[in-house]
Structure 1
Amino acid sequence: MKPLVRNAALNSYIELSQSLGIDPRTLMKRVGLDPVGLAVQDRWISGVAVTELLELSAVAARREEFGLLLAERRRFSNLGPISLVLREEPDVRSVIRLLVRHERMYNEMLRSRLTETNGLATVKVSLELGEVRQARQAVELAVGAFHGFLRVFLGARWRPVSVCFTHGAPHDIAAHRRHFGPVVEFDREFNGLVFYATDLDTPNSMSDPLLRGYARQYFDSIAVASETTELDRVRELIEVLLPTGRCSMEQVAGSLGVDRRTVHRHLAASGETFSSLVNAMRTRLAEQMVANPRRSLTEISGLLGFSAPSAFSRWFRDQFGISAREWRTRRAATGPVPK
């Protein structure tokens, strides 16, 4: 199946796009992503869609360094729960090894590797998209973010020996030099960072040895719980695709990198169908949205993927036994309404 990434991969995307004069909502919908969904950082979305979005945004903004500009806004906490454990690791070597070992917890298409030789340490970064696709912006975002994370532990004045990219140089490399210093190189054989191996021995000043054990225990518990099934992935994609009006078996199968028969087989093995999952997701979301008086029923109809408000009204009455308007009134007056 095609790789997924956490919504956090697009942290600050909307703000950056607006600052550059492009419409993030239009571009996100074009690749099948929901702007509202970005509010939930731990939700998983298509890595291919994110990669395409970054390329489209760079063209629309006429900024070849779009991915790097997004990396400059990246925060350490964007890594999610693993950031809590990294803060307690004893040194930089332990931090990088843990980050590399558990990269699939925050980005399934990222492949990174740490090597040490002749006094130099190299972190190589690559992306596995499951298909041939332009990924310049996503690569620069990944390398830029890795560089930023290292500076959290090595200090703002730290500079690597070199920063390498396999693609060619942009017309204007000012942004790259501002971010990395004069050591950035293009048309190299790998994407990544080269720095002195002694930097790996730098103690982590944020670490508290008394908390390290607790942090590791917590991490071990969520690392196990983070394993998602095909059924979980389909549910997540349905929730993401419903507001776009493109929630279909074909669209979900395409996002997962398989054909619809494969999706059908996985669902059947769990005693589910695509229709049953869509209906269950709509029911759960409808209860949340209709209870919110600030959302119009017409807006909710669109967010749940209905072609017209009348279709939503019929579905809601069939599902809950009363109209959405009446359900909202009773909910406001008496609390939860029984189905």
Structure 2
Amino acid sequence: MKPLVRNASLSGYVELSRSLGIDPRALLRQVGLDPVGLTMQDRWISGAAVIRLLELSAAAAHREDFGLLLAERRRFSNLGPISLVLREETDVRSALAFLLRYEHMYNEMLHNRLSEADGLATLKLGLELTGPVAARQAVELAVGAFHQLLREFLGARWQPLTVCFTHPAPADPASHRRFFGPVVEFDQEFNGIVFYSGDLDVPNAMSDPLLHTYARQYFESIAVSRDTSEADRVRELIGALLPTGRCSVEQVAASLGVDRRTVHRHLAASGETFSSLLNATRMELAQQLVANPRRSLTDVSGLLGFSAPSAFSRWFRERFGCSAREWRARQASDACPE
């Protein structure tokens, strides 16, 4: 299936679009993205759809710097759980190495590389594209986001030696000069940032040595392999979509940037069906949620995507052989010491 990105890649998109006088909801629907689901930062969506959205938005707003304006709104938290580790890394080198190692945890389209030679460090940014598609805005968003990240570590006055783009210069490069300084160059051989290698050894002022090991251990416990299976992708999307009440194979397919038949075909290859994954995910979540006495069963019903508590009650009894209330009581009884 096509590479995915986290919803957080579009953080600030709605606000930026409205400030430029364009309708973000209409543009999101045009590329097959759910405007409501965009608020779920950890949900995965089609990377190809995001690239097309950025190009359409730039054209609608008549702003060649749309991707760059979006990059200005980037924050550490947009990276998700990995941001907790980056804040505690000892220096810029270890933070960048960690970020590049786990880039698939926040954007499967990114393929970045850091190299050093003759006292210079070069961060080259690549995007996995399917065919010759326009991706100027996505490239500038990615380069701008990394520039913002480096400034978080090195200070607001830090400036790279060169910021490179393979595409031509915009008609008006004022925003690029303001954002990167006079070092931005176009029609270059790669997209990326060149700076002094010594910058990599600058200590991270945000780091707390006591939290460094803990942050790493926490992240390693939730990290997923770059070789995540298609079934794992669908399972994760089901978990994210269930509370919205719109968990269907069509919604999952839209998030993956494919049609429903493709989803069914990939799942069949691994011996699964959409229904089997839906039920397995629901059962796993149901056990966690019902066991928590602080959650009402009505709330649990909604979080599992049921339209009414009665439907949840019937489903639960069919799967567990008793009512949710009885199951909760048994769990509480088993947890009590004799």
TM-score interval (norm. to shorter):
0.7 to 0.9
1:74 maps to which residue?
Answer: 74
**Alpha-carbon separation, structure 1, partners of 2:107 and 2:269:** 28
Alignment deviations for residues 298-318 of structure 1 (CA, whole Å, 9 cap, x no partner): xx9xxx9xxxxxxx9xx9799
Amino acid at match of 2:253: V
The Cα shift of 1:206 comes to: 1.1
Work out whether residues 67 and 137 of structure 2, in 8 Å CA contact, stay in contact via their aligned partners in 1.
Answer: yes
SS of the aligned residue for 2:45 comes to strand
Q: Is the 8 A contact 2:32 2:254 kept in 1?
A: no
Provide the rounded CA distance (Å) in 1 between the counterparts of 2:206 and 2:164.
29
Matched-pair contact (CA < 8 Å) for 2:20–2:61? yes
Q: 1:236 to 1:167 in 2, by over 3 A?
A: same
Distance 2:309 2:77 in 1: 43
TM-score, with structure 1 as normaliser: 0.77
Equivalent pair of 2:231/2:270 in contact (CA under 8 Å): no
How far residue 175 of structure 1 moved from its aligned partner, in angstroms, is 0.5
For residues 237 and 224 of structure 1, do their structure 2 counterparts lie closer, same or farther at Cα, with a shift above 3 Å needed? closer
Structure 1 position 11 matched with structure 2 position 16: no
d(CA) in 1 for partners of 2:98 and 2:256? 29
Amino acid at match of 1:23: D
Q: CA deviation at 1:129?
A: 2.6
* Counterpart residue number, 1:32: 32
Give RMSD over aligned pairs: 3.7
**In 1, distance between residues paired with 2:255 and 2:130?**
11
Matches within 5 A, 1:1-339: 1-224=1-224, 228-235=228-235, 252=253, 255=256, 260=261, 263-267=264-268, 269-271=270-272, 273-274=273-274
Q: How far 1:223 sits from its partner (Å)?
A: 1.1
Which residue number corresponds to residue 326 of structure 1? none
Deviations 1:237-292 (A, max 9, x none): 67769x9x996669828945699367425246444x346667999999xxxxxx69
CA displacement, residues 183-215 of structure 1 (integer Å, 9 cap, x when unaligned)? 100000000000111111111111122221111
Q: Distance in 2 between matches of 1:200 and 1:139?
A: 23
**How far does residue 226 in structure 1 lie from its aligned partner after superposition?**
8.9
Distance change in 2, residues 1:116/1:260 (3 Å)? same
For residue 183 of structure 1, what is the amino acid of its counterpart? Answer: V
Q: Secondary structure at the match of 2:207?
A: coil
Is the alpha carbon distance of 1:25 and 1:278 closer, same or farther for their aligned partners in structure 2, counting shifts above 3 Å? farther
Q: Deviations for 1:155-189, whole angstroms, at most 9, x for unmatched residues?
A: 00000001000000111101001100011000000
Q: Which amino acid aligns with 1:19?
A: S
Distance 1:51 1:265, change over 3 A: closer
SS at match of 1:127: coil
Report what 2:289 is aligned to.
none
| In structure 2, C-alpha distance between the alignment counterparts of 1:317 and 1:86, rounded to whole Å | 42
Aligned residue identity for 1:163: V
Query: Contact 1:32 / 1:246 at 8 angstroms: preserved in 2?
Result: no
Q: Which amino acid aligns with 2:102?
A: H
Cα deviation for residue 87 of structure 1 reads 1.0
d(CA) in 2 for partners of 1:254, 1:85: 27
Rounded Cα–Cα distance in structure 2 between residues aligned with 1:63 and 1:282: 44
Q: Which residue of 2 aligns with 1:287?
A: none
Residues 220 and 281 (structure 1 numbering): CA distance in 2 closer, same or farther, change over 3 Å? closer
Segment drifting more, 275-284 vs 140-149: 275-284
TM-superposition CA deviations, 1:97-126 (whole Å, max 9, x none)? 111111111100001111111111110001
Unaligned runs of 5+ in 1: 285-290, 293-299, 305-311, 323-334
Deviation at 1:91, TM superposition (A): 0.9
Count of matched residue pairs: 303
Q: SS state of the match for residue 195, structure 2?
A: strand
